[in-house]
Chains A and B, each alone.
Chain A
Amino acid sequence: MAASRLASKEVRQVLGIGAVCLVPVVLRNNYYIHLANAAMITMIVATGLNLLTGYCGQISIGHAAFWAVGAYTSALLTTRLGWSFWAALPASGLVAAVLGYVIGRPTLRLKGAYLAIASIGVGEIVQLVLLNWTKGTGGALGIKGIPFPRLLGFELATEFQLFYLIFAVFLTIFGVTDGIVRSPLGRAFLAIRQNEVAAQFMGVDIARLKVLAFVISTAYAGVAGSLFAHLQGYISPYGFGFKESVGILCMALAGGMGYRWGPVIGVLLLTIARESFRYFQDYQLVVYGLLLIVVIVFMPKGVAGSVPELVDKWRGRLRRRGQRRGQPT
């Protein structure tokens, strides 16, 4: 029985992956495929935030900075030093992670919301450096002509081709995260979020693990940044600010922090919402902001957490009604 359950799980996984692979074929429209690509990149950042906040209980409000660092690392390595995309991708993750370690190590040793506060500062500083350090980053003009990734001698130059590359990276990150969450490490993260004081008496090195969670999440943001740079072909300091940081945090929270599918659901939901609100034109952001407040007020655990609870409640009501009709117990 265990074997058949395993087999069916694998079948489901293959079917799921196959279905996603059909998405660009079905969408056809380049703009929509581009949205899907951008959404998957955002999901990578949101997955890292989910690990950091949903599992380990730490809050970062400056993650766009690490996203930017990844994007600029990749852009500079490929345009100036002629690195290949395949070397620049992990390097971007690494550079972002190193910065994450430098920020996280001192701030996470302190109790309280220091990481949240420091991350805001880091976000602003990184953006100002990108804007003003013209020699290194191209200043406000940014970096142009970032090459498309090459695979087996072919250039992945269309949204359609890039979809599969980004999907493969996303899938890897999702798989690694899933592995972490189910491992003893994931359980230790969760213990920190649930009760930091108790966790340390159970042998959990809370300071080290918090830094680890932060470093992993910044590495993800760096990788996402690299993909973003090569998808766009052009990057500038605009688009990596406070607004973007909180935007991704909002998506992760709306989807459900601490739930495996939370970031995916959140990014899909809010991306689709924002796109459909285009019809409201000027009112697009008004509606978007209000939607966010409504989701937070009525679904405090996000869609992934609150919908099953609502369904349970609803089922319980049905069952109780059924019991009332049957014999009283």
Chain B
Amino acid sequence: MQFSVSDLVQIILSGVAMGSIYALMALGFTIIYNALRLINFAQGDMFMLGATFGLTLFVMWRLPFSVAFLLAGLGVAVVGMIIERTVFRPLRRYPVLNLIIATIGISITLRALALIIWGSQALLFPPVFGDKPITVGKLVLMPHYLWIIGIAVVVIALLQAFFTLTLPGKAMRATAQNRDAAALMGINVFRMDSLASAISAGLGGFGGVLIAPVFFVTTEMGALAGLKGFAAAVLGGFGTIPGAIVGGLVLGVSESLAASVVSAYRDAVAFVILIAVLLWRPGGIMGRKTR
């Protein structure tokens, strides 16, 4: 198989775009893991809710895309906050497995509710980023990939600013490092859990509404996206923010490259890499080598 330079740029661009989405998902997993030591299997459904909320706001209510985008993300964040308050908080004392299974219960419930509201048909989200390719010299670029990358960069930059510049952001990092010490310093750790849950849900939501104009919207779309986001988080080194971003990008690009060779196994790439990383570098690409 022969690739031209233009093909290769195209492949890598779409890989980086998908990778940005995975990075948002992986960040969602990471932030809630750092706060609650919890692998949240409902994270994929936050992604789905972002897309479906966005669809309703943009197509049904005819809001401008930028407003629909923001409201969808915030709406999913509110859902995350409600979940933390009603399910995670009462379960804090119990073994992790219970919490994990509870997130699965949440996932089943949300997906079933979404099915009732939006139906089982794949829904089309109109292309908002324009579908005319841009030509730069010999290169042909799809505009929606550029938009996705741009918006994801802004979201991640804002998140980083939140963690390093604002007081609640710093408090959240402190809580993640040492919960008891943070509580002794007067930080309301439960509020931090709530905030972490909201942010991680919101990140999933933004990912969903960003990807919606590229793919169809279905109530099952969160399942695979969630697992891949999780794979990306492990790949980069679970529990670290740079790890989540690098993991997402590496996954997106390698998936895109692999898909251009063996398209049937596109979805297997994430999990093959996942297992390879666990075997040879369990701390992740960015993590220390632990053995």
When A296-B91, A300-B94 are in contact, do A128 and B268 touch as well, CB less than 8 Å? yes
The answer to whether B97 and A283 have CB atoms under 8 Å apart is no
A160 in the interface (beta carbon within 8 A): no
The answer to whether A286 and B116 have CB atoms under 8 Å apart is yes
Complex CA gap A113/B102 in Å reads 17
The answer to whether B231 and A121 have CB atoms under 8 Å apart is yes
Residue of A114, A242, A293 near B102 (CB, 8 A) is A293
B274 in the interface (beta carbon within 8 A): yes
The answer to whether A128 and B274 have CB atoms under 8 Å apart is no
B261 in the interface (beta carbon within 8 A): no
B51-101 at interface with A (beta carbon < 8 Å): 87, 90-91, 94-98, 100-101
When A53-B97, A128-B268, A292-B105 are in contact, do A297 and B91 touch as well, CB less than 8 Å? yes
Complex CA gap A283/B101 in Å reads 20
The answer to whether B227 and A120 have CB atoms under 8 Å apart is yes
B140 in the interface (beta carbon within 8 A): no
- The residue in chain B whose Cβ has the minimal distance to the Cβ of A286 is B112
The answer to whether A114 and B278 have CB atoms under 8 Å apart is yes
> Which chain A residues border B96 with CB–CB below 8 Å?
113
A291 smallest CB distance to B (angstroms): 8
A131-153: CB near B (< 8 Å → 1, else 0) gives 01000000000000000000000
B104 in the interface (beta carbon within 8 A): yes
Complex CA gap A285/B114 in Å reads 11
The answer to whether A59 and B109 have CB atoms under 8 Å apart is no
The answer to whether B112 and A285 have CB atoms under 8 Å apart is yes
Complex CA gap A290/B111 in Å reads 12
For A, the interface residue count at a CB cutoff of 8 angstroms equals: 39
> Which chain B residues border A120 with CB–CB below 8 Å?
227, 230, 271, 274
A174 smallest CB distance to B (angstroms): 23
The answer to whether B101 and A250 have CB atoms under 8 Å apart is yes
The answer to whether B275 and A122 have CB atoms under 8 Å apart is yes
- The residue in chain A whose Cβ has the minimal distance to the Cβ of B230 is A120
A219 smallest CB distance to B (angstroms): 21
Residue of B90, B108, B111, B267 near A292 (CB, 8 A) is B108
The answer to whether B279 and A106 have CB atoms under 8 Å apart is yes
B265 in the interface (beta carbon within 8 A): yes
When A289-B106, A293-B106, A296-B91 are in contact, do A125 and B271 touch as well, CB less than 8 Å? yes
A75 smallest CB distance to B (angstroms): 21
A68 in the interface (beta carbon within 8 A): no
A259 smallest CB distance to B (angstroms): 15
> Which chain B residues border A242 with CB–CB below 8 Å?
223, 227
> Which chain B residues border A59 with CB–CB below 8 Å?
97, 100
- The residue in chain B whose Cβ has the minimal distance to the Cβ of A123 is B271
A110 in the interface (beta carbon within 8 A): yes
Known: A121-B271, A121-B272, A125-B275. 19 other contacts (CB 8 A): A116-B39, A117-B274, A120-B227, A120-B230, A124-B227, A249-B101, A250-B101, A257-B97, A282-B115, A283-B116, A286-B112, A289-B112, A292-B101, A292-B104, A293-B87, A293-B102, A293-B105, A296-B91, A296-B105
A-B residue pairs in contact (CB < 8 Å), sample of 30? A59-B100, A107-B278, A110-B291, A113-B39, A114-B278, A118-B278, A120-B230, A121-B270, A128-B265, A132-B264, A242-B223, A242-B227, A246-B104, A253-B97, A282-B116, A284-B112, A285-B108, A285-B115, A288-B112, A289-B106, A289-B107, A290-B105, A292-B101, A292-B102, A292-B104, A293-B105, A293-B106, A297-B87, A297-B102, A300-B98
